[in-house]
Amino acid sequence: MRGQTANLIFNSMNIKSICLHLLPITLTLSLVGICVAAQNNAVAQHTIESIQATPAPGAATFGNIAVSGVTRNFVYAVSGYPAPAAGRPLVIHLHGDGGNMGLSEAWKSAVLNDDNGAVLLSAQGRNNIPAAAAIDGSGWRFRMDESGQPYDDVDFINQLIIKATANTALLGMAIDPNKIYAVGESRGAGFAYYLYADPRTRNKVKAIVPLSGTFYCDGNVAGNAPAAGSDITCGEVSEFGFWTPKPTLFTAPGVTRPPHILDIHGQLPPNGSELEDTAPPALDQDYASSTWAGWGDAAGCYTVLVSSQTEKTLPGTVGGKVVKSYAYSQAQGQLATRCAGLDLTFYIAQGGGHVPGGFEPTAWCYLSTVGGRPSSSACPAQHGSATATATATATPTRTPMGNATATATSTPTTTPRAGATATTTATPGPTPTGLTPRAYMPALVQE
């Protein structure tokens, strides 16, 4: 349907039958958008619980739930492999600003082609709800203090997870509550971080892979106090006088899930085109990674900076790009030693641009190792050790954050674009054994 005019006429009587007839086909975003728009205009509303049957393997199936009186939509596909005894893993995909829910062939090929038997679900952001889009236009709003409001995105995903894991009615199958994962692109990547930190969802999501996003709290500082409209559930004024994520998001007694995060970015200009407001952490600069530091602080890592001495280069390319990885150091005097207590690694695609392509197998390979079996299709058949590149750097001293941190934690002014659809497919290989996520990460996907 891309580039063509869709000559379909929908009405309130035939919308359900037409969309449900068409959606088992692999859909373009255009056709999904037509069905969504038509459903929103239909007189008769329904919930997927009342009509859902077990979908065909790999087919795209449309669903919705009502949250605070608003219909929120999603589309999903199921692996053809048998369901595990505890239920199927669920991978929630979050699109970027200006995007739409959709299941690309690259994501389906990566997530659905192994015996984990996963479900891939793409959620529809608020930019596709006219009344919500009129508020700020973003695909997902970065707020934690909207609980109970009509367009609260955290509530949407929270209710989606609750309903999907409570029984088989929502998706037509059992979902393993211990294998809920999130992947996001651009604005969706930033929102994946929010789901991982918000008290409503942080213990429900096992691991995340944000592609070109960062974690920050909406708000700023006016006279060392939160300015009007600040997200006071997420942020606070730090000891250095800057708005920053609250430490309690990462260390509260109710946090029972250890963090598992693979954070993927393109390279910054001049050799890449990553956006400044979703950029990777600057290396060897004091407090240039402060928006990610909460998880590292909770794990006892040295988070003043991300040291170039932790650099490793993946043995193969991803999406045709060389990929280098970085992490927090173990301690101030051990800048070349990656922190052992935190499964958080930054992957930087050299020249990859904003939302670099080809990382779908990488994402699922990583997620499948967290609480499950490494994917036999997305993970590489052979995995050598990554090569470490040591770079001399001075040991930093702890000083007030200054302007660098103010830039890192401020609300972005540039709207990230939606991620491009990748076409890379997974390469089959044997299932690795005896590997933890941290041990396996340096050699994820090779081409």
pLDDT of residue 226: 87
Superfamily in which the 48-443 domain is placed by CATH:
Alpha/Beta hydrolase fold, catalytic domain (3.40.50.1820)
3-state per-residue secondary structure call for 14-57: CHHHHHHHHCCCCCCHHHHHHHHHHHHHCCCCCCHHHCCCCCCC
pLDDT tens digits, 171-209 = 999 999 999 999 999 999 999 999 999 999 999 999 999
Residue type, 9: I
Rounded Cα–Cα distance for residues 399 and 345 (Å)? 25
Rounded Cα–Cα distance for residues 182 and 1 (Å)? 28
Strand partners for 263:
346
CA angle 292, 297, 300 (to 5 degrees): 135
Residue scoring higher pLDDT (274 or 50) = 274
Please say whether the beta carbons of 373 and 115 come within 8 A.
yes
244's tokens: 């920053």
pLDDT of residue 356: 94
Tokens 């959606």 locate to 23
Please say whether the beta carbons of 386 and 312 come within 8 A.
yes
If pLDDT is split at 50, 70 and 90, which confidence band does 394 have?
very low
Separation of first and last alpha carbons in the chain: 31
User: For 107-119, what is the mean pLDDT?
Assistant: 96
Please say whether the beta carbons of 340 and 327 come within 8 A.
no
pLDDT tens digits, 116-131 = 999 999 999 999 999 9
If pLDDT is split at 50, 70 and 90, which confidence band does 147 have?
confident
Strand partners for 346:
263, 326
Pairing status of strand 207-211 against strand 88-94: unpaired
Residue 47 has pLDDT above 70, yes or no: no
3-state per-residue secondary structure call for the chain: CCCCCCCCCCCCCCHHHHHHHHCCCCCCHHHHHHHHHHHHHCCCCCCHHHCCCCCCCCCCEEEEEEECCEEEEEEEEECCCCCCCCCEEEEEEECCCCCCCCCCHHHHHHHCCCCCCCEEEEECCHHHCHHHHHHHCCCCCCCCCCCCCCCCHHHHHHHHHHHHHHCCCCCCCCEEEEEEEEEEECHHHHHHHHHHHCCCCCCCCCEEEEECCCCCCCCCECCCCECCCCCCCCEEECCCCCEEECCHHHHCCCCCCCCEEEEEEECCCCCCCCCHHHCCCCECCCCCCHHHHHHHHHCCCECCCECHHHCEECCCCECCECEEEECCEEECCEEEEECCCCEEEEEEECCCCCCCCCCHHHHHHHHHHCCCCCCCCCCCCCCCCCEECCCCCCCCCCCCCHHHHHHHHCCCCCCCCCCCCCCCCCCCCCCCCCCCHHHHHHHCCCC
Residue 425 has pLDDT above 50, yes or no: no
Q: In a 10 Å sphere around its CB, with 0-12 CB exposed, 13-18 middle and 19+ buried, how is residue 42 labelled?
A: middle
Rounded Cα–Cα distance for residues 289 and 267 (Å)? 15
Length of the chain as a residue count: 447
Tokens 């299932």 locate to 431
Please say whether the beta carbons of 168 and 174 come within 8 A.
yes
If pLDDT is split at 50, 70 and 90, which confidence band does 309 have?
very high
If pLDDT is split at 50, 70 and 90, which confidence band does 415 have?
very low
The alpha-carbon radius of gyration of the chain (Å, integer) is 21
Rounded Cα–Cα distance for residues 388 and 310 (Å)? 7
pLDDT of residue 375: 96
418's tokens: 């939606």
If pLDDT is split at 50, 70 and 90, which confidence band does 38 have?
very low
Rounded Cα–Cα distance for residues 78 and 58 (Å)? 5
Domains in the chain: boundaries: 1-45, 48-443
Neighbours of 389 (CB within 10 A): 13
Mean pLDDT of the chain: 77
pLDDT tens digits, 205-233 = 999 999 999 998 988 888 888 888 899 99
